[in-house]
Structure 1
Amino acid sequence: MSRESHAPANPYSGAPAPANPYSGAPAPANPYSGAPAPGFDTYQAAGYPPGAPGYPPGGYGYGYPPAPRTNSLALASLILSLVGVASCITAPIGAILGHIAQKQIRETGESGEGFAKAGIIVGWIITAFMVLAILFYVVIIVWAILGTTAAATSAP
């Protein structure tokens, strides 16, 4: 018995031998590679003659509309009200500017309503603290004057 008779049968015996990759012959095109076949124009639409005029390429669209401008009085109102924390003089000016800015914003449609409202709130709160502090100092001074005068008159 020879060894050849025990070898399994080759199911591909009728198929041609695979091509030698080093032979220099071009390999067949892979239909799944995504590359176009030779002579196929990827930019040409099917059913239209080559070079047919078309629409120009699409642009980037209109984009976003510009943001509305911020009212400058509203910004000045907030800044003066915040500076009023240190100076106490600019706080009522900032509050008044905030009211004017709100009127302008309603008429023109500008942005900055939050700045104006914050300027009004901070400005009037700082103004109220300033008025309370002035009243406190006046009361202390009057009390000191009256206390000194009363002590001087009751002395034996």
Structure 2
Amino acid sequence: MDAYTENPRTNVLSIVSLVTSILGLAVVPIILGHISLAQIRRTGEQGRVMAIIGLVLGYLTLLGYLIVIGIAVAVFVSRGMSGS
């Protein structure tokens, strides 16, 4: 019997998803997070929590960007209509 048992590898895409979400990217961590979760489910690798955190941060960042864009559009439209 071997005393050394190998730990499952950590999925690289889950790490990249987490890092890119911390960097403030929105679409990249969402795509990579979904791909890594599918790979983790299929291969049994570790990294599920990192992938989920990357997904959550990616979706929150995307929501933030959409809110900022919506506010900017509303400001520009209201200034254009008021003639300022």
State the TM-score, normalized to the length of structure 2.
Answer: 0.93
* Runs of at least 4 residues off by over 3 Å: none
Does residue 83 (structure 1) correspond to residue 18 (structure 2)? The answer is no
1:24-57: CA deviation from partner (whole Å, max 9, x where unpaired)? xxxxxxxxxxxxxxxxxxxxxxxxxxxxxxxxxx
Cα contact 1:82–1:91 (8 A) shared by 2: no
Aligned partners of 2:9 and 2:71: how far apart in 1?
Answer: 43
Tell me how far apart the structure 1 counterparts of residues 64 and 30 of structure 2 sit (CA, whole Å). 14
User: Which is higher, the Rg of structure 1 or of structure 2?
Assistant: 1
Higher RCO (CA 8 Å, separation ≥ 6 residues): 2
| Percent of paired sites with the same residue | 35
Higher helix proportion (structure 1 or 2) = 2
Structure 2 portions without partners, runs of 5+: none
With structure 1 as the length reference, what TM-score do the two structures score?
0.51
Offset of residue 98 of structure 1: 0.2
Q: Which amino acid aligns with 2:6?
A: P
Corresponding residue pairs, total: 84
CA RMSD of aligned residues (A): 1.3
Amino acid corresponding to residue 63 of structure 2 in structure 1: A
